[in-house]
Amino acid sequence: MKPLIACWAVLFVASTLSPGQSSSKGAELTKFEIRALTTAIEDEIYDYEYEGHYFPVGGAVGNAVSDSKTRVSLYVDARLENGEGQTIYKLMPYGEVLRLFHVHDDGMVVLDGDPELGFPATQPNRKTVYINDHDLARMKRDWLKALFEISLSPGAQRVQDAVRRQKERTGFSAWEFHRAPAARR
């Protein structure tokens, strides 16, 4: 009987978390946090202008690239430890990467690491080629699976929204930095 009561207690506590609450130590990632994670990834891609490194499903066909989108697989460790989680996805032009992320109390998700460092083997945020094949296969098998979509030609408003959210998350926008006059840098 006690295991049944414990199960109900866990379900009750999990159901009382609101979308804006951060998961505590050892908590399950919520669907709202997964959506915030995919938004953070998409925003970073548009802010760094990496969308041009992706290809539409089935490959590029003439002018179809300008109107195309591509889906990218995302693997997410379902457990957060002190608001920190891990995810695996393809971040072109680097290839598949393992990234740490942080879920803030307001529900905002911030990706760890700087893409311009190239995800070296010596960092916690690294290319998956540096992970043991057995461990990588286990992660992909056991973690939550999701998809996010990248527009290969995002509209100006989509890019500006991504830039704004990136600045809110990190205080920095690669898109703005690369367009700033040299004197301001």
Domain coverage including residue 142: 19-173
Residue 99 lies in a domain: yes
Fill in the amino acid letter for 51: E
Output 63 or 182, whichever has higher pLDDT: 182
Please report, rounded to a whole number, the percentage of residues in the chain having pLDDT higher than 90.
72
Residue 184 lies in a domain: no
> Judging by DSSP bridges, how do beta strands 95-103 and 109-111 pair with one another?
antiparallel
Domain count, the chain: 1
Q: How far apart are CA 149 and CA 39, in angstroms?
A: 10
- For residues 105 and 22, the answer to whether their CB atoms sit within 8 Å is yes
Question: What does the pLDDT read at residue 68?
Answer: 85
Is the pLDDT assigned to residue 170 strictly greater than 60? yes
pLDDT band at 182 (very low <50, low <70, confident <90, very high): low
- Ranking 36-45, 127-136, 144-153, 175-184 by mean pLDDT, the lowest is 175-184
Question: What does the pLDDT read at residue 7?
Answer: 39
Question: What does the pLDDT read at residue 26?
Answer: 72
User: HEC states along 134-180?
Assistant: HHHHHHHHHCEEEEEEEECCCCHHHHHHHHHHHHHHHCCCHHHHHHC
> Could you read off the pLDDT of 88-143 as tens digits, one per residue?
999 999 999 999 999 999 999 999 999 999 999 999 999 999 999 999 999 999 99
Residue 185 lies in a domain: no
Residue 54 lies in a domain: yes
pLDDT band at 58 (very low <50, low <70, confident <90, very high): low
Question: What does the pLDDT read at residue 136?
Answer: 98
Residue 180 lies in a domain: no
Q: Which residue has the tokens 């998809």?
A: 147
Output 49 or 181, whichever has higher pLDDT: 49
Output 46 or 63, whichever has higher pLDDT: 46
- For residues 128 and 88, the answer to whether their CB atoms sit within 8 Å is yes
Residue 1 lies in a domain: no
> Could you read off the pLDDT of 13-44 as tens digits, one per residue?
333 333 334 444 578 999 999 999 999 999 99
DSSP string of 54-80? ---TT---GGGGGG-EEEEEEEE-SEE
